[in-house]
Structure 1
Amino acid sequence: MSTSAEGPKSSEHLTPVRWGVLGASNFALKVSLPGMKRGPLTQLAALASRDTSKARAAAQSLGIPKAYGSYDELLDDPEIDAIYNPLPNHLHVTWTARAARAGKHVLCEKPIALSAKDAAALVDVQRETGKLIAEAFMLRSHPQWQQARDWVRSGQIGDLVGVQMAFSYFNRDAEDIRNRKEAGGGALYDIGCYAVNTSRFLFGREPVRAMALVERDPEFGTDRLTSGLLDYGGAHLTFTCSTQAVAYQRVIALGIKGRIEIEIPFNAPADQPCKIFLDDGSTLSGSSAKITSFPVVDQYHLQSEAFSRAIRTGGPVENSIEVAVGNMRVIDALFRSGESGRWERV
């Protein structure tokens, strides 16, 4: 059986937010910024790189009118309302804080920091500046995740007792930022953070303790294979993430009366429909699962529009800085467990 879910409702008539972008990474140019460009409330107004020619080329490729040869020049632009920060992980806290203190709201890519302590410093910055700071977990804006959470909350699968997640890809490029330990590379920071964030999203509470097994690359020092277990108090998350395994991703939420399966949970395609499964478990083959299909959407478009709307209306953001600090507390505990070999309190 297949049904179709309603797409997102149109934006209110609000003044567009003028966005500046820090850096010209391949991820930003090819994945997130094309989606952000689609939103009527999101106006990509400027882009900065430490290389002026690179900034101009990147801005031109996306139709962004202004290009700057330094990040500070962009932050000094009085016409910019908000900053999108997709810089390497180790630069997130520094430039997010500088942007907020320059009077800009900030949407920062995940992980927002490399420790809970550093993330918590941004709570103080938000309080000091009055500017919104949020971590860019775009999937929370996707209707397939909102539907999954609604099913959990409404009891469609009974009590949620377990979430299983896998996320992997293969990359041994020594020049890639994801393989540089000093820059915050590795599987847990890059993709394991999704398992932490989305399990908290589904359970609606915080885990109390964490355990992990960590296998590090002998050359890079990054975690290339991390498996974790989170104790939500009578319910569990189990996950495996890897930067050196076959490309794969899947999420299964197990309740006492049914299960939810998300086919492409994290890199939801922006050019084809997505589908999730609701199964009462009456057949082990999965033939009893009901399929819900979602119209084509771009989760980066939805995310930036939601953040722009929060700026203009004063409403809440989905993945606030406080939520981001909670994610880093769990990641810290997982890394500690990887070293100690024991359960670690979150």
Structure 2
Amino acid sequence: MKKTINWGVLGAAAIATGRTMPALNEAPSATLLALASRDGAKGRAAAEALGVPRVYASYDELLADPDIDAVYVPLPNQLHLEWSVRALEAGKHVLCEKPLCLTAAQVTQLCAVRDRSGLHIEEGFSFRNHPQWAKLDDLLASNAIGPVRAVHATLAKQFLDPADVRNNPAAGGGALYDLGSYAISACNLIFKRQPTRVVAALEHDPAFGIDRLSSALLDYGDRHAAFTVATQAGPSSWGSHQQLSVLGATGWLRLDFPYAHGRPSACRIELGDATSVGSFPTETFTFEPVNQYTLQVERFSRLLLGHQEASWPIEDALGTLRTIEALFESGRSGAWQVLPRP
């Protein structure tokens, strides 16, 4: 019986070499077998530093390797669809960085390829693997704060490098695609569905052309969510500013580091119940530093090996992209946009 999943990585992007590839080396159920890079020197250097035994000069060469079981796709956003499709068609399972695609239509196309191939594909939101999200689910399921009424989210960081793909509109740059996808995904995880309609205010960088300050109101019918994401606000350090709060009928929850942990960090969930005053919590749940990327590839690998593990269908990405598209249209029109039914 197979004990580990052999992984290949398409491209030596910073998130791959700095986070996911080290995680693949740490995860007991994963074996980092191959790296493909169109930049030969960069690929060889990354492979040597990370102990990768096989290095390919093209992505197609890696996909043709019969020993590769799963492929990680950290390529620029506009290449996610193409290489996820190629990997599935080559018989490989796929973990693709977020956002999975640039449009909802692309996600629909990817769902069809997945169904045809019978293989597994997920969007690489590492935050979903953090134990604080399992605890959040438990608290909501136990009615700790009553029925959820609203969610508020904020993410911000200084992305000022003109060469950063986040500042390239053609590559899916901007606050909504990069940071907004976290906020929308989190809201949909909490509400277990996509919103029915949305409205947005977007402010664009005059030089880059990307949305650099985006605020949105999401209407879930009997529940609401609001978020602000910004690529030229907050800190310029290794981690973005992040907050998430959940307002319930009888209390509230607040997460101080809910999304991407660029470095494993301690974090907490604060709970306020019917007896709390102001923003002072009644109870606090603390979490020691964990590597979300290692948890992600270990869970994914164990799932492929036949173990009972959580997984998130890429239909979740369909709801996220429908929301992003509607928010861009709302920003242009200034009007509410109704989302298509799932």
Question: Aligning the two structures, in what range does the TM-score lie when normalised by the shorter sequence?
Answer: over 0.9
Give the whole-Å Cα distance in 1 for the aligned partners of 2:233 and 2:274: 30
Q: Which residue of 1 aligns with 2:312?
A: 319
Q: Contact conserved, 1:209 with 1:230, CA < 8 A, in 2?
A: yes
Aligned residue among 326, 332, 336 for 2:325 = 332
Partner SS, residue 305 of structure 2:
helix
**Corresponding position of 1:189:** 177
Please say if residues 41 and 308 of structure 1, whose CA atoms lie closer than 8 Å, have aligned partners that are also in contact.
yes
TM-score, normalization by structure 1: 0.93
What is the CA–CA distance in structure 2 between the aligned matches of 1:319 and 1:334, rounded to whole Å?
Answer: 23
- What's the RMSD between the two structures over aligned residues? 1.6
- Counterpart for residue 66 of structure 2: 78
Match of residue 158 from structure 1: 146
Alpha-carbon offset, residue 269 of structure 1: 6.0
Deviant stretches of 4+, over 6 Å: none
Taking the aligned partners of 2:2 and 2:320, their CA distance within structure 1 comes to 32
Per the alignment, in what secondary structure is the counterpart of residue 46 of structure 2? Answer: helix
**1:287 CA drift (Å):** 3.3
Does residue 252 in structure 1 map to residue 245 in structure 2?
yes
Q: Larger deviation: 136-145 or 313-322?
A: 313-322
Question: Which residue of the partner structure matches residue 261 of structure 2?
Answer: 268
Does residue 299 of the first structure (1) align with residue 292 of the second (2)?
Answer: yes
SS at match of 2:157: strand
> Which ranges in structure 2 are unaligned for 5 or more consecutive residues?
236-240
Number of residues of Structure 1 aligned to a counterpart in Structure 2: 334
Give the Cα separation in 2 of the matches to 1:29 and 1:305. 17
Contact 2:302 2:309 in 1 (8 A): no
Q: 1: distance between equivalents of 2:115 and 2:243?
A: 37
Shift of 1:106: 0.3
Q: After alignment, is 87-96 or 282-291 more displaced?
A: 282-291
CA apart distance, 1:60: 1.2
Structure 1: how far apart are the matches of 2:138 and 2:39?
A: 45
C-alpha contact (below 8 Å) 2:72/2:95 kept by paired residues: yes
Q: Of residues 173, 195, 203 in structure 2, which corresponds to 1:207?
A: 195
Deviation at 1:315, TM superposition (A): 5.5
Q: Which amino acid aligns with 1:264?
A: F
Match of 1:34 in 2: 22
Mark the CA change 1:173 to 1:126 in structure 2 (over 3 Å): closer, same or farther.
Answer: same
Aligned to 2:98: 110
The Cα offsets for residues 149-183 of structure 1, whole Å up to 9 and x where unpaired, read as 22112211101011000000011211111111111
Distance, in Å, in 2 between the alignment partners of 1:192 and 1:312 is 33
Normalised TM-score (structure 2):
0.94
The alpha-carbon distance between structure 1 residues 94 and 196, as it changes in their structure 2 partners (threshold 3 A), is same
One of 82, 95, 100 as aligned partner of 2:88: 100
**Separation in structure 2 between the aligned mates of residue 329 and residue 107 of structure 1, nearest angstrom:** 21
Whole-angstrom CA distance in 2 between matches of 1:339 and 1:314:
46
Q: In the alignment, which residue of structure 1 is the partner of 2:77?
A: 89
Q: Percent of counterpart pairs with the same letter?
A: 44
Distance 1:297 1:344 in 2: 39
